[in-house]
Structure 1
Amino acid sequence: METSKIVVDAIEFQRALTAAIAVAGGDPLDLVQFRIVGDELVVAARSYNEAIAIEVTTNYLDVDYDRDTFFEITTGEARALNAMKMKKEDPDDELALGLLVHEIYISRTDESGLGLGLRTVKVRRHGNPYESVLGDVPHQLANAARLAPTSVPPKMDGAQWTLLGRVAKALDTRLTVWSTSEPDSATVRTHVAGDGVAMGVLCSDLSEEGLEAEAEASAAEQPQLSFNDDVSVEVSKVVAAKPPKGMA
């Protein structure tokens, strides 16, 4: 069976995958998603309260757009995929890796130098190739970020602030945060942007019982993070960061 092939910058890919693994939630959201947006590969993940999408520079695309526009793997498989480390021997070296996408598996190859693809790692593709568990995370985040910023300050609990630090470290980037929630909202929606990365965080003042009830209600259907507002408001220019092009 034919495979799709995607070649990307290896260092950017490793950083993006590390950040996505940190954000991915527990079952059934313990997944990392790869999605073609425009001419770029976006690596994404989410839990019930956090979501992230990171753009990776793409050097080559030969994709079956019916089957492989997006594909998902478990976080365990993502760690295995990320275990093949690549380091520059010389500052001028350009490291590239390939993703060969099959209906039931994904192979990672070393495309640096002569591009012979001799070093490989194969992991299992999750679920039905034509159905997504996580949904369209990049566009959910883009739609939510179109809401106008408000005077409500960003709000996150300790674990979420720690997660934000892990993401910034993994991506080696600076992050800007702002809120689009209304005053006195029980749940504050915080948006995060950096160079090629978009993230959303929900922090609620609801009791633990209220949060559990909310999570159970979401799990009754296909889980959807509450960052997918269908809005047409222009993005206010509140940050100097460059979020992923295909997600803006």
Structure 2
Amino acid sequence: MSALRAPRSMPQTSKIIVYQEEFVHALKAAGKVSKNESPYDVVQIRWDAEAETLQVCAVNAKATFVAYMSVEMGDVLDRDQVFEIEKRRIAGIAAMRFPKAKDEEPLLGLIVAESWIEITDESGLGIGVHKLRIPRSSEIALPGDPSRTIQDAAASSNLESWAVKPYPDQLGLISAVAKEIGGRVRLQQLAPPKNAETNPNRLLASSVSWSMTVTALPSGDEEDDSPTITVVDQGDLGFDDDRDQGEEATTPTTRIVSAEPPDGAA
């Protein structure tokens, strides 16, 4: 007589429910910052238990990005306070289509187990039907704490009228992120852009629901021909978007008080 097998125990899981569109935009914006090579080829998800909010983070050698979002529900084990999704999985998650009831925003569920993550439809019409399971790495790849990096940058920013001198690559990345996730952007200079060899040009870009730092370290042999923009009010810079969430009415605007392009170029 064969021995009876013990029933297989169900894996312990955490569950977080967010608004699908908001999460997908944050995930795709993070994909603009993440890279295709390790350790930057992941998007990190962080659960803030105290605030009951979710953070979507990405890092590369020159930039750190964090998006913040509220949740509909969060029941998260200590094991799952931080987990990561491979960059190559973003397209598959973004392609998921959730049917929604009239006047309701679709909801997305993140069910997190020790070795896998399941993305589910939590909107009502597709619960238990539309889902995608992806593997979860047992190790955290991204170095440091992206959220703390942003907090430290914001705390150290000098609100005086420093000249904001972004390099094209910095503006290009900030623009790509803003176009994906939306919102108006405030730029702050975290270090005066002088003596680039020892003092890299570092910017803090922030909006209603996200922030990022971007650093440029050009060759010290190259003459800096970028125009100088002096920002008096630390207000918003461009990038209007429908997802502005009414911030325009409450956030001070930016006043450009001087522009000194090289050789008189506009």
Provide the TM-score with structure 2 as the length reference.
Answer: 0.71
SS at match of 2:164: coil
Structure 1 position 24 matched with structure 2 position 34: yes
**Which residue, out of 209, 212, 219, partners 1:206?**
219
Q: 1:153: Cα distance to partner?
A: 3.0
- Mark the structure with the bigger radius of gyration: 2
The C-alpha deviation readout for 1:161-198, integer Å capped at 9, x for no partner, is 22222211111211111112036241111001101101
- Tell whether the 8 Å contact from 1:33 to 1:134 is kept in structure 2 after alignment: no
Provide the TM-score with structure 1 as the length reference.
Answer: 0.76
CA RMSD of aligned residues (A): 2.4
Gaps of 5+ in 2: 1-10, 222-232, 237-246, 249-266
Mapped to 2, the partners of 1:108 and 1:183 lie a distance apart of 43
Match of 1:11 in 2: 21
Q: How many residues of Structure 1 are paired with residues of Structure 2 in the alignment?
A: 210
**Which residue, out of 176, 192, 206, partners 1:182?**
192
SS at match of 2:215: strand
The C-alpha deviation readout for 1:93-129, integer Å capped at 9, x for no partner, is 121110000111110000002572320011111342x
Match of 1:51 in 2: 64
Decide whether aligned partners of structure 1 residues 174 and 17 sit closer, same or farther in structure 2, where only a CA change above 3 A counts.
same
Structure 1 position 35 matched with structure 2 position 35: no
Deviates more, 1:162-171 or 1:42-51: 162-171
Q: 1:151: Cα distance to partner?
A: 4.0
Mapped to 2, the partners of 1:87 and 1:164 lie a distance apart of 32
- Tell whether the 8 Å contact from 1:77 to 1:124 is kept in structure 2 after alignment: no
SS at match of 1:79: helix
Match of 1:125 in 2: 136
Mapped to 2, the partners of 1:87 and 1:179 lie a distance apart of 44
The C-alpha deviation readout for 1:114-146, integer Å capped at 9, x for no partner, is 572320011111342xx4523210111111111
SS at match of 1:165: helix
Mapped to 1, the partners of 2:195 and 2:91 lie a distance apart of 37
- Tell whether the 8 Å contact from 1:32 to 1:45 is kept in structure 2 after alignment: yes
Decide whether aligned partners of structure 1 residues 97 and 85 sit closer, same or farther in structure 2, where only a CA change above 3 A counts.
same
User: Percent identity over the alignment?
Assistant: 30
Match of 2:149 in 1: 140
**Which residue, out of 70, 73, 91, partners 2:82?**
70
- Tell whether the 8 Å contact from 2:13 to 2:113 is kept in structure 1 after alignment: yes
Match of 1:79 in 2: 91
Mapped to 2, the partners of 1:111 and 1:68 lie a distance apart of 20
Q: How does 1:147-226 map to 2 (within 5 A)?
A: 147-149=156-158, 150-182=160-192, 184-186=194-196, 187-206=200-219
Match of 1:233 in 2: none
Decide whether aligned partners of structure 1 residues 158 and 72 sit closer, same or farther in structure 2, where only a CA change above 3 A counts.
same
